[in-house]
Amino acid sequence: MTLLTCDKLSVSYNRITALKNVSFHVDDGDYLCIVGENGSGKSTLIKAILQLIGTESGTITLNGIRQTEIGYLPQQTVVQKDFPASVFEVVLSGCLNRKGRNPFYGKAEKALALEKLAELGIATLKNKSYRDLSGGQQQRVLLARALCATRKLIVLDEPVTGLDPLVTTELYATIKELNGKQGIAVIMVSHDIQGVLESANKILHVNVEPVFFGSPSDYLNTSVGQRMTGGTTHA
């Protein structure tokens, strides 16, 4: 089943075109990686999908999922890095939409947060202060928070920025496991094209306009794919 369809999407900021005529779709269980150079419109596309910005033309259609049910792992903010919250409090904040009008989080939300902590192997960090964690641990916490909001689709904006290669590999493995075992569709923006080629089943390359949309193997046969990967060939 197709979860998300983006059809001829165009977005402008202050009369400058950030995205033009971008089309793609994400099916159940897909792992889509959005790549492109700096300023190519990758993060703008994420924001448009999440309806954080308006679109100029084109459509984004969600099927079987509401916009607020998309799990979102945004780029880290300076405030977040230094905020005195416990790991549990950060993950619990991902349940904001589930608590309805109740001002407090209930038992169900707390149980869900604990479940996601356990799933990502960070249950022992529950009472630790988020700002005292390593970069890799912090990203796992934010991933757990994003998972609290969704059962079907998660959007990750540059999740491995600033992480060392070993931690990056571990995080990719975790995301791949979520995608493979739980069937959660993944949309990930990344600069690290080499790292995601083995996990993703779809690649979208944008440079304001769409450059490529298809499988990783087809991408590697294009000139832009070869340029982005430094000429590497994958199976």
Give the nearer residue to other proteins in terms of CB position, either 132 or 198.
132
The DSSP 8-state label assigned to residue 76 in this structure reads P
Which stretch in 17-25, 54-62, 128-136, 214-222 sits in contact with other proteins by CB under 8 A?
Answer: 128-136
Whole-angstrom Cα distance, residue 191 to residue 51? 23
User: Is residue 213 near other proteins by the rule CB under 8 A?
Assistant: no
Whole-angstrom Cα distance, residue 227 to residue 78? 33
* Contact (Cβ atoms closer than 8 angstroms) between residue 10 and residue 48: no
Q: Indicate the Cα dihedral angle 95, 144, 1, 58, nearest 10°.
A: 70
User: Is residue 122 near other proteins by the rule CB under 8 A?
Assistant: no
φ, ψ dihedrals at 59, nearest 5°:
-135, 150
Nearest distance from residue 232's CB to other proteins, in Å?
33
User: Is residue 229 near other proteins by the rule CB under 8 A?
Assistant: no
User: Is residue 149 near other proteins by the rule CB under 8 A?
Assistant: yes
Whole-angstrom Cα distance, residue 34 to residue 205? 6
- What is the x/- site pattern for other proteins, positions 66-95, by CB under 8 A? -xx-x-x-x--x-xx--xxxx--x---x--
Footprint of other proteins on this chain (CB under 8 A)? 14, 47, 50-52, 67-68, 70, 72, 74, 77, 79-80, 83-86, 89, 93, 96-97, 99, 103-105, 127-129, 132, 149
